[in-house]
Amino acid sequence: MDYVDLAFVLMGSVALLSVAFTFLAIRTRDLMNAVIFSSVQSIAYALIYFLLMAPDIVLVYIAVSVGIYPLILILLIKKVGRLEVTG
């Protein structure tokens, strides 16, 4: 297994991880947990961007999607209420 194989194995496994965390973020009832799962999924996407040879997007994407989205969503959840009521 050389360097190229290792990069692609990393990309596939990180993509599977992002599917799991997307499922958890949609499935969970607690909105604060959903925000945290969503930001973990964003870290996985940032690694995929880096392995797809777009390192300039990673610099913006990390700051926006791991920093600013959870910040504004947590501020919104503080105002709106934490538990999602199904029905």
Partner 1 sequence: MRIMDIELVIFMFMLTVMSLYFNFAISLYGVVAKVNLVKKLIALTILQDTINIFTVLVGYRLLRPGLTLQPPVVIDLNPTPEVIKEFVTRSVDPLPQAFVLTAVVIGLAVTLFLTTIVLHVSRHFKTVNVDEIGRLKRGYIHEEAV
Binding residues vs partner 1 (CB under 8 A): 1, 3-5, 7-9, 11-12, 15-16, 18-19, 22-23, 25-26, 31, 34-35, 38, 41-42, 45, 48-49, 52-57, 60-61, 64-65, 68-69, 72-73, 76-77, 79-81, 84-87
Specify burial of residue 41 (Cβ count, 10 A radius: 0-12, 13-18, 19+). buried
Angstrom CA distances, 76 to 21, 26, 29, stand at 21, 18, 16
Instruction: Report the alpha-carbon distance of residue 25 to residue 80 in Å, rounded.
Output: 18
- Tell the smallest beta-carbon distance from residue 8 to partner 1 (Å): 4
- Tell the smallest beta-carbon distance from residue 62 to partner 1 (Å): 10
